[in-house]
Amino acid sequence: MGDEPNLPVRAGGFQLPAGCPPPAGGRPGKAGDDPEEGVGLPRLPPARRRRLAFLVGVAIGAGAVYTAVSNAGGAAEALHRVATALPGWLGAGLVAEALSFFALGGVVRLLAGGAAAPATALQAGLVVGGLGAVLPAAPAEGVVMASRELRRRGAPARSAFLGVVLAEWYVGATALGLVAGNALLLSLVVQTHLGGQRLSQVWLVGAPAVAVLAVLALSTWLAHRRRTAEWVALVAGRVRFWRRLPAAQLRAQGAAWWTEMEAVLGPPPRRRVAALLALLESALDAVCFGASLAAAGIDLRPGVVLVCYGVIVVATMVPFLPAGLGAVETVVPALLHHLKVPLASGLAGVLVYRGLSTFLPAAAGALAYLHLRLARQPAAPHPAAPHPAAPHPAAPHPAAPHPAAPHPAAPHPAAPHPAAPHPAGGGPAGGHPAAGP
């Protein structure tokens, strides 16, 4: 071995001198590595990446909140207005938000709960809409957690997952539809009131509303077509280039998901009830927002409140910001200030709404999820209790043939009856009369 030449060693993309051992650890070199780039850095696990994105989003949102508070005149004045909020309007907002989660629980029970109790569906709704809204991968984590608990209580796995996803979709779609319909109605009323003047400002609100309603109608129509599901599955399979599947198999998967979704949605009356419950949930959440503004001393018309609520709905969809943290606290006070509302009052109203609709439901959702997890353990032995006792009622069944045993023996006592004619008809042939003479 000592006669072997000292050849250069390649580690990763670097050329090491002759006789140098390769470095310990690191990613081994692959064909096609660029020597100029060197050894690739290790990738973070998916869970750590989600947590990092969540922390970055929270930092961005906190910075936006700090900016909004500073521009509003300082945190002291805004917090003072929150502390002196009118208790009557606070109670009205709290009741409206609680009723909205009851409506959300009804949607979850209708679509995903199956035979689940109403209390279980309500807790699942709190997990999805309350706790799930503030988690790093919102709303995916809340959907997974709620569907898992419903599955452990008897709901089919795919039906539970699809039901929770569809419940979230119903709530989001009805919220956008409510806001867009209000904006369209408001634009028409303002246009009529102004006699056809200032059309540019009117259509600035009405045109986006028409576009949103058209997109919602088109997406609903496409969602009920089997070809749409097949096409989506085919596109998703092509994007997942590292695991190629045949086109026929991808279409079959999409068709299976579509069939399951149609089964979860059920007949048209059931879908209409789910849509009405989701619309009620969005309307009650908007009522909570209006009550929060009134608690901070802000008096606005219901139509204007719904327009501001629409801005909140859109701001919560910003990625990397859990529940739109920072975006809502920045945009909505600015919009209220454009409507002649002081910045401090507008920020106080938004903070009150945040407390009623985000932080309290998140705490309630955490408690609900903990209760679901703990209540599952003691409930497990009850369904298993009848199984040991099942053989006892079945014990008499093997013994059933024993009473029936005498029935085959019944002909034995009847055997002498055929022997009765022998003395009468066989006298001369019998041994006794022949012995007589």
The model's pLDDT over 380-434, given as tens digits with 9 standing for 90+, comes to: 444 444 444 444 444 444 444 444 444 444 444 444 444 444 444 444 334 444 4
Terminal Cα-to-Cα distance of the chain (whole angstroms): 129
- Contacts of residue 107, Cβ cutoff 8 Å, sequence gap at least 6: 125, 167, 170, 171, 274, 277, 278, 281
Q: Which pLDDT score, from 0 to 100, does residue 393 have?
A: 47
Each residue of 175-200: pLDDT tens digit? 999 999 988 888 887 766 555 445 55
d(CA 95, CA 366): 20
Task: Note whether 329 and 307 are within 8 A (CB).
Answer: no
Pick from 9-18, 370-379, 416-425, 427-436 the range whose average pLDDT is largest.
370-379
Question: Higher-confidence residue: 28 or 48?
Answer: 48
The residue among 87, 133, 131, 129 whose CA lies nearest residue 352 is 87
Crossing angle for the helix pair 87-108 and 118-126, to the nearest 10 degrees: 110
Task: Note whether 14 and 20 are within 8 A (CB).
Answer: no
Q: Is the pLDDT confidence value at 26 over 50?
A: no
Q: Is the pLDDT confidence value at 300 over 60?
A: yes
Q: Which pLDDT score, from 0 to 100, does residue 330 have?
A: 87
Sequence letter at residue 27? R
Question: Higher-confidence residue: 18 or 31?
Answer: 18
Q: Which pLDDT score, from 0 to 100, does residue 238 have?
A: 81
Q: Which pLDDT score, from 0 to 100, does residue 94 have?
A: 96
Q: Which pLDDT score, from 0 to 100, does residue 384 have?
A: 47
Q: Is the pLDDT confidence value at 72 over 80?
A: no
Sequence letter at residue 80? H
Q: What is the dihedral of CA 267, 272, 273, 276, to 10 degrees?
A: 160
Mean local confidence (pLDDT), 267-281: 93
Dihedral sign, CA of 63, 65, 67, 70? negative
- H helices of 355-414, in order, are 360-379, 381-384, 386-389, 391-394, 396-399, 406-409
Each residue of 303-336: pLDDT tens digit? 889 989 999 999 888 877 788 888 898 899 889 9
Helix (H) or strand (E) holding 341: none
Question: Higher-confidence residue: 90 or 319?
Answer: 90
Question: Higher-confidence residue: 340 or 285?
Answer: 285
User: Tokens 């003479």 identify what position?
Assistant: 437
pLDDT above 90 as % of the chain: 30
The residue among 320, 378, 396, 312 whose CA lies nearest residue 349 is 312
Residue 137 exposed, middle or buried by CB count within 10 Å (0-12, 13-18, 19+): middle
Least confident piece of the model among 206-210, 267-271, 277-281:
206-210
Q: Which pLDDT score, from 0 to 100, does residue 342 have?
A: 87
Mean local confidence (pLDDT), 58-86: 66
Q: Which pLDDT score, from 0 to 100, does residue 223 have?
A: 87
d(CA 39, CA 26): 7
